[in-house]
Chains A and B, each alone.
Chain A
Amino acid sequence: MNTMKTQRKLWGALILLAGLHGLVLFAGFFAPYSSSAQDRELPFAPPTRIHFIDAQGTFHARPFVYGLKDDPKTFGSLAADSTQMYPLHFFVRGSSYKVACMFESNLHLFGVSGTGRIFLMGSDGYGRDQFTRFLYGGQISLAAGLIAAALSVLLGIIIGALAGFYGGWIDDVLMRGGELFLALPWLYLLFAVRAALPLHIAQWQVFLLLIAVIGLVGWARPARLIRGMVLSAKERNFVVAARTFGASDAYLLRRHVLPQTYGVILTQVALLVPQYVLAEVTLTFLGLGVGEPMPSWGSLLASLQQYYVLSSYWWMFLPALLLVPVFLAYYMAADALQERLKTVPL
């Protein structure tokens, strides 16, 4: 019964994650606009409401949105203009994009016709669609989280396995080194690295730098965990037996010791990804990540540093709110994996 529940929870989390990643991966299709398209007439437009019933009370089978005009009541803000109606269409042609960096397409899931605009999450200070930027921003942030987690876990496995398997001075050196990394003030490290770099490095280089720093600094914790697992695993009877039969170290590690840690590693990855996504968000929020006009979840939140945004445009908080289900899905998966570890014997 308990295993059933765990299994259901795991699958639920995985489906949620697959859906989220699918949305982000195919951002070009799901987003109505290009991530850098500015509409300079419509800065800080509020989220567009989708209507079925117009101002006269008439019902429309095809949903529609209203146009935007300057709000006469408050200076510098926009309000819906019920004299302009734009019907919502599905599978429309719009700006072109690339699917998975390969196929070019210009098909979008939805859009409005003519000069109308649909901003599901409002627009930012340049009149760019926040929903579009959230989806595209996920490409940077999730990729950074996934790759950095993979990097630090990979390093953790190698170093942890070596330390745990050989013990002695190797263990001492590696683990004390790990503690040194744990004690590093990584934010300042990143500031220092960024300052030492040439003036204009390409966006992908900044991105790689982010991943490298987040991933390299984070290996110590998984390494400690895996060392502990390896320490106990190498003393198990079947491992000792294999050794007496003359198995090499490499064979033992590959065949008998490391497989025992896979469950833990998977759980670690599920825990580290959201942590590293958050690290990317923090760094970009502080101006150390990818720059304009490329969106990332951190840069979507960066404008909240300003008082007028904070106090005037509530929809600028939406990206922060949307991070919650993403993280919850990852933690749910980690939780289910952890429970499965307890119930499924090694």
Chain B
Amino acid sequence: MRFLILLAILCAFSSRSAVSAQTADRMVTGSPPGRAGGQIVIALRSDPKTLNPALAADVPSRDIIYCMNADLIHINRETQKTEAGLAKSWSVSRDGRTYTLRLRRGLRFSDGKPFTADDVIFTFRVYLDEKIHSEQRDLLIVGGKPIAVQKIDDHTVRFQLAQPYAAAERLFDGLPILPRHLLENAYNNGAFSKEWSISMPPDQFAGLGPFRLKEYVPGQRIVLERNPYYWKVDGKGNPLPYLSEIVFLFVPSEDAQVIRFQAGDTDILSSFSAQNFAVLAREESAKGYHLRDVGPGLEYNFLFFNLNNLAGKNLPQIAGKQTWFQDARFREAVSAATDREGIVRLVYGGRATPLWGQVTPGNKLWVDGKLPHPARSPEHARELLKSAGFSWKSDGTLIDSKANPVEFSILTSASNAERTKMATIIQDDLSQLGMNVHVVSLDFGAMVDRLLNSFDYEAAIMGLASGDTDPTAEMNVWVSSGGTHLWHLNETKPATPWETEMDRLMNEQLITLNYQKRKRLYDQVQEIVTQNLPVICLASPDILVGAKNRIGNFRPAILDPYALWNVEELYVH
């Protein structure tokens, strides 16, 4: 049986190879031409859990999958706008509900098999399959209905949406196209979730990305080699990618990665702290690497209070404190007393931006420039607390109207030194208002369990970062029924008038196709967040990256993967 399949593959290979590459719709990139050959070494935090794009949730898996796969429409990390990918062009119907994508012709997967509309149809069948539980499925439900995919011919695919969807083009980024010829059997047999586990032999993988799997050594490294069938060429017509190999080493901690980079073992370093940036900067010229501060990314860190409905939870103490937390004046007082500049200086060594709203200045298309940035004012905080019925004992302790002292704890993740440091700064700020605040660091799993399931916490510091600049990526945070509506989960209907308004605005921007109108709607959401403070935004760290001077075309961006988004254009001098 196996022999037969092999034979069939061989036949397919020989007959199709006659259709030569010259008819292929290659994409020409605009970057300066580089030199072919060479190898770069990059550190990853851990072994990837899987190389299956429909199942990957961890950062190392996604980084490698990004290098091995391609999507139909791509978000250019530099311009933050969409550009052609595997789809050469596309058109939208006037009602904004039908997208027709024309695929590039003559493209091949990294195993040499041709790419057609059938692969696209298969891919979307997988992502939309409830049994697969793919991360991408939620994104593909528009207006309560899954997107319908239809093959028009071998190189044309039509997508039908239940309602107009503003960010529809951006959906395609992050949906790698899978090879039907390798995965369909397993999918039909219900064994898809076992496919493309990291331990499978390299010849079982194929993608449309610039690199393909060469070797995996558990616990040590994964090696990708150049995909000879890749579909992009540089301005002079030279095939991309330039590099012949990328080696990913598994280096478990940030400090260890910094040391390896400093020692010259790795060529590119991304996502490290400002303090380590300063350490590395001292030897920048001597060691032959350069560091780049790309500016604020999309991550926003914030403090929030437990506003969950605690009925049936048996947490009387926390329920009692919720009368403070639910008072917007209390939250505003906390916000007014918080020293955001101090956080930027002490936690991030100045390489961050203080935040008052959830959109960072790095998100140029969507940040609300008119948002007020009130300076820190403990006096204003005291006035607010006074007007909310709080008073002070002779020793300075803040008490509420029933004479209970104001005391609560802020939960942070022990593995995140930066957020623990923020909590310590806020603790000191709030102690000046007479609040007795404790900082509690738990391991990440225990913390998430308290935030999402048991609701056994009073306040917490978290950070979120969307993969995309578009507000649609934030739907699950700001819509009251969203799964990341952290301060109050499982709302059956909006608990407050401003949450009702936020639901309306978020749902309306989702179906508004005009950018200006959408921007106005999302600006209003940002204003509601800064006025009502369901989350008290603190700061957004800069994206910091470093690379050896010998790496060409190194153009880091604030969107993930920061340093590797143009991996096909990187080369070695």
State whether these chains interact: yes
On A, residues with C-beta under 8 Å from B are 36, 38, 40-41, 43, 74-77, 125-127, 195, 199-200, 287, 291-293, 306-309, 311-312
- Pick the residue among A77, A200, A292, A306 that contacts B255 (CB under 8 A): A306
B424, A293: Cβ atoms under 8 Å?
yes
B279, A308: Cβ atoms under 8 Å?
yes
Given A40-B342, A40-B345: A200 and B425 within 8 A (CB)?
Answer: no
B169 an interface residue at 8 Å Cβ cutoff? no
| B428 cross-chain contacts in A, Cβ below 8 A | 36, 38, 126, 293
B322 an interface residue at 8 Å Cβ cutoff? no
B392 an interface residue at 8 Å Cβ cutoff? no
CB distance from B353 to the nearest CB of A (A): 17
B457 an interface residue at 8 Å Cβ cutoff? yes
* CB contact list, B426-447 vs A, under 8 A: 427-428, 431, 438-442, 446
**A308 vs B254: C-alpha distance in the bound complex, in angstroms?**
11
Given A38-B428, A287-B414, A307-B259: A199 and B345 within 8 A (CB)?
Answer: no
CB distance from A267 to the nearest CB of B (A): 39
B281, A308: Cβ atoms under 8 Å?
no
B424, A43: Cβ atoms under 8 Å?
no
- Pick the residue among B274, B279, B425, B440 that contacts A307 (CB under 8 A): B279
A200, B424: Cβ atoms under 8 Å?
no
A125, B427: Cβ atoms under 8 Å?
no
A127, B440: Cβ atoms under 8 Å?
no
| A307 cross-chain contacts in B, Cβ below 8 A | 255, 258-259, 276, 279
B255, A75: Cβ atoms under 8 Å?
no
Given A287-B414, A291-B438, A308-B279: A76 and B349 within 8 A (CB)?
Answer: yes
| A291 cross-chain contacts in B, Cβ below 8 A | 438-441
**A36 vs B432: C-alpha distance in the bound complex, in angstroms?**
12
Indicate with 1 or 0, residue by residue over B280-302, a CB within 8 angstroms of chain A CB atoms. 01100000000000000000000
Q: At the interface, is chain B mostly helix, strand, loop or mixed?
A: helix
Indicate with 1 or 0, residue by residue over B164-193, a CB within 8 angstroms of chain A CB atoms. 000000000000000000000000000000
Which 4 A-B residue pairings sit nearest by Cβ, starting from the closest?
Answer: A307-B255, A308-B275, A200-B409, A40-B342
- Pick the residue among A38, A74, A125 that contacts B278 (CB under 8 A): A74
Q: Could you show 19 A-B contacts with beta carbons less than 8 Å apart?
A: A38-B342, A38-B425, A40-B339, A40-B425, A75-B278, A75-B349, A76-B350, A126-B425, A127-B346, A195-B446, A199-B411, A199-B440, A292-B424, A292-B427, A292-B439, A308-B273, A308-B276, A308-B278, A312-B278
B24 an interface residue at 8 Å Cβ cutoff? no
Give the residue name and chain of the A residue nearest to B258 (CB): A307
**A292 vs B275: C-alpha distance in the bound complex, in angstroms?**
21
B421 an interface residue at 8 Å Cβ cutoff? yes
B456 an interface residue at 8 Å Cβ cutoff? yes
**Highest count of chain A CB atoms <10 Å: which of B274, B275, B440:** B275
Give the residue name and chain of the B residue nearest to A127 (CB): B346
Give the residue name and chain of the A residue nearest to B421 (CB): A125
CB distance from B32 to the nearest CB of A (A): 30
| B346 cross-chain contacts in A, Cβ below 8 A | 40, 43, 125-127
CB distance from A318 to the nearest CB of B (A): 19
Give the residue name and chain of the B residue nearest to A75 (CB): B278
B417 an interface residue at 8 Å Cβ cutoff? yes
| A199 cross-chain contacts in B, Cβ below 8 A | 409, 411, 440, 442, 450, 456-457
| B446 cross-chain contacts in A, Cβ below 8 A | 195
* CB contact list, B335-351 vs A, under 8 A: 339, 342, 345-346, 349-350
7 more A-B contacts (CB under 8 A) besides A40-B339, A199-B456, A306-B275?
Answer: A38-B425, A43-B346, A126-B421, A200-B409, A292-B424, A293-B428, A307-B259
Give the residue name and chain of the A residue nearest to B431 (CB): A36
A311, B439: Cβ atoms under 8 Å?
no
**A75 vs B339: C-alpha distance in the bound complex, in angstroms?**
22
| A41 cross-chain contacts in B, Cβ below 8 A | 345
| A125 cross-chain contacts in B, Cβ below 8 A | 346, 421
**A325 vs B176: C-alpha distance in the bound complex, in angstroms?**
63
Give the residue name and chain of the A residue nearest to B339 (CB): A40
Give the residue name and chain of the B residue nearest to A37 (CB): B428
**A274 vs B421: C-alpha distance in the bound complex, in angstroms?**
30
CB distance from B338 to the nearest CB of A (A): 12
Give the residue name and chain of the B residue nearest to A40 (CB): B342
Give the residue name and chain of the B residue nearest to A202 (CB): B438
| B438 cross-chain contacts in A, Cβ below 8 A | 200, 291
| A75 cross-chain contacts in B, Cβ below 8 A | 278, 281, 349
Give the residue name and chain of the B residue nearest to A203 (CB): B438
**A231 vs B274: C-alpha distance in the bound complex, in angstroms?**
63
**A82 vs B441: C-alpha distance in the bound complex, in angstroms?**
41
Give the residue name and chain of the B residue nearest to A43 (CB): B346
**A307 vs B277: C-alpha distance in the bound complex, in angstroms?**
11
CB distance from B396 to the nearest CB of A (A): 12
